[in-house]
């Protein structure tokens, strides 16, 4: 067993692919001593000259060859594991499917692929007796999927709350510490390379929704795809709301939630939206680009997994960890035996059925009886107030009212907001942010 070498094919040599090659090469000795010798024997990447240059720089000329054709990896009988790090759905889906069908275990960081085609790929892996691992697809370097799948397998999961997008956490942290608007903070995130030129996936919450689909699928043994996740991003969050939240004892975070529906064992809530979190909650102090996943299990109680959710080496750490697990299973002849099983078929609750407290900011006329009309609009939808504050009067003579409701079904809240928007004394409903807690 000590002399066995497990050969690996790597598809993609971008940020994460480059980091993975580096980690596997630089830490090869300790990996071999802990587990098994792993050799990246072929790399498929469109830029052949760059691939050859990296092979040379890492001293891998004797063992590693470059190609631009992924079939060279699939058709190589010596390769037992394929690492897919090109991202996106196509052609990654075709490449991963071909590798699994050819009897190779697959490791990927591709959240888009797992959140949309996970179930069919798990089945393909099962049918071919191989493994399909994707730890790096959620929260980068944080080992949350293995923890959920294995270490917490004895628990019923009471709740998962995650800050799983570093870009939006950076933007909201900057808005909070500098009292700045959204746009300049987004621009700074782009300058620092956190946000892409087209930041839609991050700031609209889609990236977080894919990660929550994967987390919820594992935690609740059901095939939850990204299109089932309710999503709101952070583009409507203003510096005024962040300042009020701060005064009221809360931090605003883009949070992904997955939890069972109260009183309905067949349903779960899976959502991504900005959330006001009490400053005492562990997630409230997760700042900048850091990620954290807060998990409550019925046996474990509360715990939080914290770390870097993106970046070359942190993400490579998770990919390489999966490669080592897959390699150990190959030499121990145990591959394909611990797949993910969707033995339940949980329904996802519509957002209108979810229950929350709500922060509302209204711009109203500064006249008598206005508060009474607003109170009546909420009371008609059975909504009770936790706190009401009349804040500044703007240059245009409008008064700003900030209020927090008690817990209520979102359908009732939407009904009340609709009613408020039609009141003559209400100029606009400037903001609505959900508030964590009962
Ligand atoms: N764009 C993601 C983030 C990293 O900002 O966290 C990749 O999932």
Check whether 1 has a pLDDT greater than 80.
no
In which residue are the tokens 């960890």 written? Answer: 321
Please give the tally of structural domains in the chain.
3
Query: How many other CB atoms are there within 10 angstroms of residue 302's CB atom?
Result: 13
Ligand 1 centroid to 314 CA: how many Å? 12
Residue 309: the pLDDT is: 96
CATH of the domain at 176: 3.30.360.10
Mean per-residue pLDDT, 355-368: 95
Task: Mark whether 159 and 232 lie in a shared domain.
Answer: yes
What span, in angstroms and rounded, lies between the C-alpha atoms of 86 and 93? Answer: 10
What span, in angstroms and rounded, lies between the C-alpha atoms of 135 and 153? Answer: 16
Q: How confident is the model at residue 438 (pLDDT cuts 50, 70, 90)?
A: confident
Mean per-residue pLDDT, 183-211: 96
Q: How confident is the model at residue 55 (pLDDT cuts 50, 70, 90)?
A: very high
Whether 254 maps to a domain, the answer reads: yes
Residues assigned a catalytic role:
211
What span, in angstroms and rounded, lies between the C-alpha atoms of 330 and 413? Answer: 54
Task: Mark whether 21 and 110 lie in a shared domain.
Answer: yes
Task: Mark whether 11 and 129 lie in a shared domain.
Answer: yes
Q: What is the mean pLDDT of the chain?
A: 96
Contact by Cβ (8 Å): 405, 413: yes
Residue 89: the pLDDT is: 97
Whether 345 maps to a domain, the answer reads: no
- Tens-place pLDDT, residues 103-114: 999 999 999 999
Residue 3: the pLDDT is: 72
Q: Which domain, by its residues, includes 173?
A: 150-307
What span, in angstroms and rounded, lies between the C-alpha atoms of 143 and 346? Answer: 25
- Tens-place pLDDT, residues 117-135: 999 999 999 999 999 999 9
Whether 338 maps to a domain, the answer reads: no
Task: Mark whether 273 and 194 lie in a shared domain.
Answer: yes
What span, in angstroms and rounded, lies between the C-alpha atoms of 291 and 309? Answer: 5
Task: Mark whether 160 and 130 lie in a shared domain.
Answer: no
CATH of the domain at 382: 3.30.70.260
Task: Mark whether 253 and 133 lie in a shared domain.
Answer: no
Task: Mark whether 163 and 302 lie in a shared domain.
Answer: yes
φ/ψ of 257, rounded to 5, equals: -125, 140
Which residues have CB under 6 Å of ligand 1? 165-167, 202, 207, 309-310
Pocket test for ligand 1, best of 139, 164, 167 (most atoms within 8 A of CB): 167
Ligand 1 centroid to 158 CA: how many Å? 26
Q: How large a percentage of the chain has pLDDT more than 70? A: 99
Residue 338: the pLDDT is: 65
Task: Mark whether 13 and 89 lie in a shared domain.
Answer: yes
Whether 20 maps to a domain, the answer reads: yes
Whether 387 maps to a domain, the answer reads: yes
- Tens-place pLDDT, residues 228-246: 999 999 999 999 999 999 9
* Angle, vertex CA 43, rays to CA 42 and CA 47, nearest 5: 145
Q: What is the pTM assigned to this prediction? A: 0.97
Q: Which atom of ligand 1 is nearest to the CA of 170?
A: 5
Mean per-residue pLDDT, 297-302: 98
Ligand 1 centroid to 300 CA: how many Å? 28
Q: How confident is the model at residue 397 (pLDDT cuts 50, 70, 90)?
A: confident
């Amino acid at each position: 067993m000590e002399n066995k070498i497990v050969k690996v094919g790597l598809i993609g040599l971008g940020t994460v692919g480059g980091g993975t090659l580096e980690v596997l090469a630089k830490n090869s000795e300790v990996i071999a001593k802990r587990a098994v010798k792993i050799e990246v024997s072929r790399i498929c990447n469109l830029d052949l000259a760059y691939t050859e240059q990296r092979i040379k720089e890492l001293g891998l000329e004797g063992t590693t060859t470059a190609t631009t054709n992924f079939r060279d990896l699939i058709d190589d009988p010596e390769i037992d594991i394929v690492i897919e790090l090109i991202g996106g759905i196509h052609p990654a889906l075709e490449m991963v499917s071909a590798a699994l069908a050819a009897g190779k275990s697959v490791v990927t960081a591709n959240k888009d692929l797992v959140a949309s085609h996970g179930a069919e790929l798990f089945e393909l892996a099962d049918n071919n007796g191989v493994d399909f691992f994707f730890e790096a697809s959620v929260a980068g370097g944080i080992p949350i999927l293995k923890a959920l799948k294995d270490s917490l397998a004895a628990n019923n999961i009471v709740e998962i709350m995650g800050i799983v997008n570093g870009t939006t956490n950076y933007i909201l942290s900057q808005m909070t510490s500098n009292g700045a608007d959204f746009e300049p903070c987004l621009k700074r995130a782009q300058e620092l390379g956190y946000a892409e030129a087209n930041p839609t996936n991050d700031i609209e919450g889609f990236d977080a929704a894919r990660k929550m689909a994967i987390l919820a699928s594992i935690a609740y043994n059901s095939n939850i795809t990204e299109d089932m996740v309710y999503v709101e991003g952070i583009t409507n969050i203003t510096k005024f709301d962040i300042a009020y939240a701060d005064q009221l004892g809360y931090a605003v975070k883009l949070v992904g939630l997955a939890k069972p529906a109260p009183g309905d064992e067949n349903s779960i809530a899976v959502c991504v939206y900005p959330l006001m979190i009490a400053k005492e909650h562990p997630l409230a102090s997760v700042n900048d680009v850091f990620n954290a996943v807060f998990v409550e299990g019925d046996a474990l109680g509360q715990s939080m997994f914290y770390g870097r959710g993106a970046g070359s080496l942190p993400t490579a750490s998770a990919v390489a960890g999966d490669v080592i697990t897959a390699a150990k299973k190959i030499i121990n002849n145990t591959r394909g035996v611990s797949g993910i099983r969707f033995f339940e078929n949980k329904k996802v609750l519509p957002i209108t059925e979810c229950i929350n407290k709500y922060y509302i900011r209204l711009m109203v006329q500064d006249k008598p009886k206005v508060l009474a009309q607003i109170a009546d609009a909420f009371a008609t939808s059975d909504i009770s107030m936790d706190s009401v504050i009349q804040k500044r009067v703007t240059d245009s003579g409008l008064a700003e009212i900030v209020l927090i409701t008690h817990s209520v079904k979102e359908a009732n809240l939407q009904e009340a907001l609709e009613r408020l928007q039609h009141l003559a004394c209400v100029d606009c409903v400037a903001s609505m942010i959900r508030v964590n807690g009962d």
